[in-house]
Structures are given as structure tokens and as C-alpha cells.
Amino acid sequence: MYLINTTFQAEMSVAPQFIDYIDAFIKRTTELSALHSPVLSRFDAPAEEGQVATESYALQFRAPSQAELKNYEETFLPILFNALYGAFGEKVMYFTTVLEVIR
């Protein structure tokens, strides 16, 4: 079993629209792939002085196999990232981490 985590940082001006987009993405991903158990979390990552205020989020799915994980990485993530950039430009930044669940 694998856990795929994408961490996002969204400027406050687009945070509500970002959440709406991510909600739709979660629904589509769970309907069209074998990924399951989505969790969207917000966490505190205060802006440093002089930086734009942002909200930070983590989106996690469980993937039952490396094949399903690869399918998600090759099929769904590019759609998500292209759509986010098209909608928000550099107001939403992100990175993805894959973890193998041990226990």
C-alpha cells in the first residue's frame, strides 16, 4: 500500500476557489481510479515577514499498488497540475511525495 501526498500552498486570495477545485478533483479521482481514502488537511505554515499570506494544504490518497500509483502519477497529476496553473498561475504552488505504508 502506498500513500501519495501532495502539499499545496495557496495565496489567501484564491484559497476558497482552490478548495472548490480540489473537492471536484478528489471526487473525480476516486470515481475514475483505484485510489481511495482521500484526506484533505490544512496546516499552519505562517508566512514570513514580507511574504504573501497563504494557506497550506495536504491532499493524500491511498494507492493499493505501484501500478495504480504510477497510473495516478501519469494520468491524474498532470491534469491537476495543468488545471491549477491555468486557473491560479503561481498563486498555488505544490509538490508531491510518495510513501510506502509499512504498518
- Alpha-carbon gap, residue 69 to 35, rounded angstroms: 8
Instruction: Quote the pLDDT of residue 52.
Output: 84
Whether residue 3 is contained in a domain is answered as no
**Residue pLDDT, tens place only, 41-87:** 998 877 677 788 899 999 999 999 999 999 988 988 898 889 899 99
Q: Is residue 40 part of a domain?
A: yes
Residue 42's domain spans which residues? Answer: 15-100
Cα–Cα dist 1/15, whole Å: 31
User: What is this structure's pTM?
Assistant: 0.88
Q: How far is CA 85 from the centre of its chain?
A: 13
Q: Which strands make up the sheet holding 92-100, listed edge to edge? A: 36-43, 54-63, 2-11, 92-100
Torsion of CA 6, 7, 13, 15, to 10 degrees: 60
In a domain, 6, yes or no: no
Q: Tell whether 2 is covered by a domain.
A: no
pLDDT at 8 over 80: yes
Does residue 4 sit within a domain? no
Q: What is the pLDDT of residue 38?
A: 97
Q: Answer whether residue 68 is part of any domain.
A: yes
